[in-house]
Amino acid sequence: MSVFGNRPTDAQLADFRERVRAHIAQHAPPIEAREGHRAPETAEQEALLRAWFASLFEAGLAGADWPVEYGGRDDHHPLHDRIVSEEILRARAPRPVDQVNLAAHVLLHFGSDEQKRRLLPPIRRSEQVWCQLLSEPDAGSDIAAIRSRGAHQADGGWLIDGQKTWITDGHWADMGLALIRTDPASSRHHGLSVFAVPLSADGVEIRPIRTIGDAIEVNEVFLTGVRLGAQSLIGEVGQGWSIIMAGLDFERFGIGGNVILLELLIDDLVTVAGKSLIDGAPALDSDDIRQQVAELAVEAEVAKAFIDDHVERLTSGDEQPGDGSIAKLSFAETYHRVAAYGAELAATTIIEGAGNPDVEQAKQRLRECWLWSRAYTISGGSSEMMRNILAKRRLRLPSR
């Protein structure tokens, strides 16, 4: 039996999938999702995205795992979340902001009743988009090494100083979930606390970083003498590491839906390979290219099979140490290899019937996916960190 309660029947899941598809068809904005171009580029796009995300909450498709008193559904099961993610990806509709999900679960599990009443409703209405103020210039994926400081003030508030970097969606977010060192004598996992930071507060400066894909997805955020009230502290002082780790743990099921990105990549690769010419002959007549495409398709299926099994173990409470790291590695590294080969093929071959809109779109998507693919090997824990976790938790290797 699932640790999340009775698993829905196949018929119930099929009915739910049809409901999700109908909602997407009716409410999705006329904005095609592009890898590495997820943030809005105009005020009009931002308004459309906020309305779209709000519709998902209102329909019980987003935030369905919240407690019922805060807007969740009493019949929710994690497989529902996966279906929502899969169908949004298949429709190439904009995906909800991941950081909002993490912030919401941190508030639900560690926030005070006052914080929940004040901060959760604006999330469901998409009036407040959140970002994660975790990584720093000298810390990167090792967030235990952060140096941003928080000093307790006589009035009970806090004075925050520091710098955060690679902050996804920081340039259009309204709130930030910040991990701050509140004990100056502490190191590593100790002496950290979590704050809800309004990005409109005095002393907050946001500097967008333009990516290699010529988009603004990430930012530097400077916190200089930012004054926060006592109500901005989430949980207890010094509880920050466990709060953030628990928050990241809530995102484990996201990888299940994202595996659809591999299917879409393979579809685009096959489209381009099928129309590519080498020395006037179809590229797929080449044994080497045909074998490479087949091997990548098999690799994507292997990653999908493992992730499917991983999700099943999660829902049944049978997760093994390191499963999450294997799933993350499988997705991120496979995505990069498929995108890199597809972009190379698109750039080095002649395309039969150039100008075909379907083929041109597939070529563009492969290029954009390749340029963004390294982000997947870093965000949410770099591939190097995932291998270290596997070495310690799965293989039981010594740290030294």
- Quick one: tokens of 83? 């279906």
CA dist 376 to 97, 258, 261, 298, Å?
Answer: 15, 11, 12, 20
d(C-alpha 237, C-alpha 259), whole Å: 37
Q: Is residue 216 within 8 Å of 209, Cβ to Cβ? A: yes
Find, among 293, 398, 375, the residue nearest to 328 by Cα.
375
Helix (H, G, I), strand (E, B), or coil: what is residue 395?
Answer: coil
Q: Is residue 299 within 8 Å of 307, Cβ to Cβ? A: no
Q: Is residue 283 within 8 Å of 277, Cβ to Cβ? A: yes
**Single-letter residue type at 237:** V
Pairing state between β 350-351 and 216-228: unpaired
Find, among 304, 288, 297, the residue nearest to 265 by Cα.
297
Instruction: Bin 238: left if φ > 0, else alpha if -120 < ψ < 50, else beta.
Output: left
Exactly one of 251, 312, 319, 333 is catalytic; name it. Answer: 251
Residue bearing tokens 């060192």 = 181
Task: Name 19's Cβ contacts closer than 8 Å, sequence gap at least 6.
Answer: none
41 catalytic per annotation: no
| Radius of gyration for the chain, computed over Cα atoms and rounded to the nearest angstrom | 22
Task: Name 293's Cβ contacts closer than 8 Å, sequence gap at least 6.
Answer: 269, 270, 273, 284
User: Would you please indicate which residues are annotated as catalytic (active-site) residues?
Assistant: 251
